[in-house]
Amino acid sequence: MNHSCMLGCKPPTPDLKVPTNEALTLPPQERSRSGTIRGMSERVIPLVDQRHPSLPLPAHVVGQNLNALPRDGLRRPLTDLRISVTDRCNFRCNYCMPKEIFDKDYAYLPHSHLLSFEEITRLASVFVGRGVRKIRLTGGEPLLRKNIEILIAQLAALRSPDGQPLDLTLTTNGSLLARKAQSLKDAGLQRVTVSLDGLDDTVFRKMNDVDFPVADVLAGIEAARAAGLGPIKVNMVVKRGTNEHEILPMARHFRGTGIVLRFIEYMDVGATNGWCMDEVLPSADVIRLLQTELPLVALSPSASGETAERWGYANDQGQHDRALGEIGVISSVTHAFCGDCNRARLSTEGRLYLCLFASQGYDLRQLLRDPAQSDAAIAATLDAIWQGRTDQYSLLRSLRAPDTASGPGRRVEMSYIGG
Ligand code: SAM
Ligand code: SF4
Ligand code: SF4
């Protein structure tokens, strides 16, 4: 992992405080499992965020009126729930699960800590009652969760209070998609987003860091298309100095296919990837590069709270040519979109995080496993949690110096709460 930075940013980890002595007081054999990189024994990395104590659940008023849907402290509704179904992955993308840390000794969650499919579905149904209309399964690699089709079928059966099915989707690295696309579709999944950071096999193998070939992911995308899991989106994380030369080949490859390619700025999420601003290629530069060969026109957002800024491929008259399709840029670093952020994230073990950059979540599993908690009581607690939300990490970070990474605190890993 390259931690050096031309702007002189420090890797985020040493700046972070371990808030309790938990990692330090563990016996030596446990210490590497909880975060000391072997061979760098002086450096304790607070990476097992799920051990961080959860936030106290807010009190709610018994018999509270659940008619009005909750708005958070910045008047944002809750419409989008991302559910992480596993913290494990078969890739080691160095911007997400660097090999040096997520090694064979890494302490993943034991199975008993995971929410069962029935618990996830119950909670999802409560969320749907409080305004959620879109559910995205994520991870880790969600297709590694055994019998994921059963969960998908349960979630696909949920209906909004006015009887509408949910927008049910899943983000995957695509490695198992060729095998699973049809069974996912049959179970009721509507569409998929596939992560793919380049077409050059050498670059891709290096970025996934497990030598996984690009051809197999492309076959997965093809299988998803054949199974009708569209519209398909492809996410490409762009790291300056690593894969920016893949931007044009990726655009050429997916242009005119109906697949929407989205370029994501490399984010300072988590505490282990050694994020540095000089490895971020701003979306504005991506657009500029694309325009040198493939003219684009700006499109309006298709939905409120959309993370991607949309651009359409233009025809000779400078108008959007629908047959050529569109791309998106997700500018989490250079152009924060907290203002209408309507997303909550549920971790594999049932903690609710109100922001991708949060360091603590609310333990909903204890509510689910408490026989005294009715669905209405859980709904009232959700409302109280959401109403107390004021998160706008990216926006606040953008007000700081551009080459500074994280603020204080230890943030959860993306592989734990999902992208
Ligand atoms: N394993 C699945 C996958 O890769 O699609 C789902 C989980 S992954 C955490 C979800 C998304 O987060 C992926 O598209 C991935 O590229 C993106 N991601 C992970 N770390 C990131 C980072 N540091 N900056 C930007 N995007 C990141
Ligand atoms: Fe795995 Fe997805 Fe993270 Fe890559 S981005 S390591 S595929 S969870
Ligand atoms: Fe939402 Fe937090 Fe991302 Fe802002 S930083 S868009 S509040 S998840």
Planar angle of CA 418, 219, 326, nearest 5 degrees: 65
Other CB atoms within 10 A of residue 17 CB: 10
Looking at residue 402, what is its pLDDT?
Answer: 53
Q: What is the pLDDT of residue 27?
A: 28
**Which pairs with CB-CB distance under 8 Å and at least 24 residues apart come from 15-18?**
15/406, 16/46, 16/271, 16/406, 16/408, 16/409, 16/410, 17/408, 17/410, 18/44, 18/46, 18/410
Pocket of ligand 3, candidates 75, 354, 391: which has the most ligand atoms within 8 Å of its Cβ, to mutate?
391
Identify whether 231 is preceded by a cis peptide bond (ω within 30 of 0): yes
- Which helix (DSSP H) or strand (DSSP E) does residue 122 occupy? helix 117-129
Which ligand is located closest to the Cα atom of residue 264? 1
Instruction: Give the residue, by CA position, lying nearest to ligand 2 atom 8.
Output: 140
The answer to whether the CB of 250 falls within 8 A of the CB of 257 is no
**What is the CA(195)–ligand 2 centre distance, in A?**
8
- Tell me how far the alpha carbon of residue 140 lies from the centroid of ligand 2, in angstroms: 6
Q: How far is the CA of 393 from the centre of ligand 1 (A)?
A: 18
In the chain, pLDDT over 70 holds for what percent of residues? Answer: 83
Report whether residue 353 contacts ligand 3, using a CB cutoff of 6 Å: no
Q: Give tens-digit pLDDT for 187-235.
A: 999 999 999 999 999 999 999 999 999 999 999 999 999 999 999 999 9
- Closest alpha carbon to 15 in 414, 413, 409: 409
| Exposed / middle / buried, residue 205 (Cβ in 10 Å: 0-12, 13-18, 19+) | middle
> Which pTM does this prediction carry?
0.88
Question: What interhelical angle do 201-208 and 214-227 show, nearest 10?
Answer: 90
Residue whose Cα lies nearest atom 8 of ligand 3: it is: 355
List pLDDT tens digits, range 95-141: 999 999 999 999 999 999 999 999 999 999 999 999 999 999 999 99
Residue 13 has pLDDT above 50, yes or no: no
The response to whether residue 96 sits with its C-beta less than 6 Å from ligand 1 reads yes
DSSP 275: -
Instruction: Name the one residue in this structure whose structure tokens are 């690295």.
Output: 173
415 Cβ inside 6 Å of ligand 2: yes
Sequence-distant (6+) residues with CB within 8 A of 184 are 148, 149, 152, 170, 192, 227, 229
Residue 269 CB less than 6 A away from ligand 1: yes
Give the pLDDT score at 61.
59
Neighbours of 111 (CB within 10 A): 8
Please give the mean pLDDT across all residues of the chain.
86
pLDDT digits (tens, 9 = 90+) for 144-154: 999 999 999 99
- CB of 355 within 6 A of ligand 3: the answer is yes
Which numbered ligand comes closest to the C-alpha of 394? Answer: 3
DSSP sequence for 180-242: HHHHHHHHT--EEEEE---S-HHHHHHHHSS---HHHHHHHHHHHHHHT--S-EEEEEEBTTT
